[in-house]
A and B are shown apart, each in its own frame.
Chain A
Amino acid sequence: MKKNYLAYPYILWLFAFILIPLFLVLFYSVSSKDSSMLTLDNYKRFFDPIYIQVFVRSVNLSLIATLICLVIGYPVAWIIANMEPAKRNFWVLLFVVPMWMNFLLRTYAWMTILENTGIINTLLEKFGFQSLNLIYNSQAVVLGMVYNFLPFMVFPIYSILVKIDKNLLEAAQDLGADKKSVFMKVIFPLSLPGVLSGAIMTFMPAVSTFAISRLLGGGKVTLIGNVIEQQFLLVNDWYFGSALSIIMMGFILIFVYILRKVEKDDEERSIF
Chain B
Amino acid sequence: MKKKLFLILVIGAALIFAGCGGEKQETLNVFNWGEYIDEDLISKFEEETGIKVNYETFSTNEDMYVKVKSGGSSYDVLIPSDYMIEKMAKEDLLQELDYSKIPNITNISPMFQDLIFDPDNKYSVPYFWGTVGILYNTEQVDDVVDSWDILWNEKYANKILMMDSQRDSLAVALKKLGYSMNTRNETELEEAKQELIEQKPLVLAYIVDEIRDKMLSGEGAVAVAWSGDAMDVILSGETFEYIVPKEGSNFWIDAMVVPANAKNPDAAHKFINFMTDPENAAANSEYIGYSTPNEAALELLPEEMINSDVAYPSQEVIDNCEIFRDPGDFISVYNRIWTEVTIY
Q: Give A contacts to B, CB under 8 Å.
A: 4-5, 8-9, 12, 50-51, 53-54, 115-117, 133, 136, 218-220, 222, 226-227, 230, 232-237
Contact = CB atoms under 8 A, between A and B. Distances in A.
A226 B344 CA distance: 13
Nearest to A5: B4
Interface centre among B9, B69, B162, B343 (most CB of A within 10 A): B343
A222 B217 contact: no
Nearest to A234: B62
A136 B162 CA distance: 13
Contacts of B49: none
A234 B218 contact: no
A271 to B, nearest CB: 43
B182 interface: no
B12 A12 contact: yes
Contacts of B164: 219
Contacts, number: 70
Interface stretch (B74-82, B146-154, B200-208, B284-292): B200-208
A117 B339 contact: no
Nearest to A231: B339
A198 B344 CA distance: 31
A54 B343 CA distance: 7
A218 B342 CA distance: 11
Contacts of A219: 162, 164, 205-207, 342
Contacts of B60: 234
A232 B344 CA distance: 19
B340 interface: yes
B219 A220 contact: no
A69 B262 CA distance: 50
A236 B339 contact: no
B335 interface: yes
Nearest to A226: B342
A220 B66 contact: no
When A and B form their complex, which 4 residue pairs have the shortest distance between CB atoms, in order from nearest? A218-B205, A219-B206, A235-B335, A5-B4
Nearest to B65: A236
Nearest to B66: A236
A222 B340 contact: no
21 contacts: A5-B4, A8-B4, A8-B5, A9-B12, A12-B9, A50-B343, A51-B343, A54-B343, A115-B217, A115-B219, A116-B219, A117-B219, A133-B158, A136-B204, A136-B205, A218-B207, A219-B162, A219-B164, A227-B339, A232-B66, A236-B65
A133 B63 CA distance: 31
A117 B200 contact: no
Contacts of B62: 233-236
Interface in B195-219: 200, 203-207, 217-219
Interface of B: 1, 4-5, 8-9, 12, 60, 62-63, 65-66, 69, 158, 162, 164, 166, 200, 203-207, 217-219, 335, 339-340, 342-344
A234 B343 CA distance: 14
Given A8-B8, A9-B8, A53-B343, A234 B204 contact: no
A45 to B, nearest CB: 10
A120 to B, nearest CB: 14
A92 B1 CA distance: 44
Contacts of B4: 5, 8
A35 to B, nearest CB: 15
A234 B63 contact: yes
A72 B151 CA distance: 41
A9 B344 CA distance: 46
Contact of A117 (B66, B158, B207, B218): B218
A5 B1 CA distance: 8
A214 B342 CA distance: 11
Contact of A220 (B12, B200, B335, B339): B200
A222 B207 contact: no
Given A220-B200, A236-B69, A227 B343 contact: yes
Contact of B343 (A115, A117, A222): A222
Given A230-B339, A230-B342, A234-B66, A5 B206 contact: no
B343 A218 contact: no
Given A5-B1, A53-B343, A117-B219, A233 B63 contact: yes
Nearest to B62: A234
Given A234-B60, A234-B66, A236-B65, A117 B340 contact: no
A234 B164 CA distance: 11
Nearest to B166: A234
A220 B5 contact: no
A117 B339 CA distance: 30
A140 to B, nearest CB: 11
A8 B4 CA distance: 10
Given A12-B9, A115-B217, 18 more contacts: A4-B1, A8-B5, A9-B12, A50-B343, A54-B343, A116-B218, A117-B217, A133-B158, A218-B206, A219-B162, A220-B205, A222-B342, A230-B339, A234-B66, A234-B166, A235-B339, A236-B66, A237-B335
A237 B331 CA distance: 12
Contacts of B343: 50-51, 53-54, 222, 227
Contacts of B207: 218-219
Nearest to A12: B12
- Interface core residue of B69, B166, B342 (most chain A CB under 10 Å): B342
A89 to B, nearest CB: 38
Contacts of B5: 5, 8
Nearest to B334: A235
Contacts of B339: 227, 230, 235
